[in-house]
Structure 1
């Protein structure tokens, strides 16, 4: 039984997609979306800096 059929079959390659031609409205929407993503990234980065609120769980001091 020395056939090449054993094992997993390789997936077929997908054809490369063609470059799309965008008009001005599409380009404006894409640019706006990129700016919103950038603003969200900056806000997330700022939100992760430093503690928010209290010091977390406090120990009572009892042993």
Structure 2
């Protein structure tokens, strides 16, 4: 069947999700996960600074 309507069909809009109610254990777990992520970011930043602080990697190629 052909239709006279041209172009792409718009997708149906999804209903907005309501806010979830968290109990104390859920809030504690979320906070713990955020703290762990923050600690990992700090450790990664420290590790990168240490590697770049030394002589570093020499580029092969042209003479200077």
Q: TM-score range by the shorter chain?
A: 0.5 to 0.7
Q: Any idea what the Cα deviations from partners look like across 1:11-32, whole Å, max 9, x if unmatched? A: 1111111111111111100000
CA RMSD of aligned residues (A): 2.4
Structure-1-length-normalised TM-score: 0.67
Higher helix share: 2
Structure 1, unaligned stretches of length 5 or more?
Answer: none
- Equivalent positions of 1:1-63 (< 5 A) are 3=4, 5-49=5-49, 50=52, 55-56=57-58
Say if 1:11 and 1:37 are closer, same or farther in 2 by CA, change over 3 A: same
Structure 2, unaligned stretches of length 5 or more?
Answer: none
The count of corresponding residues between Structure 1 and Structure 2 is 57
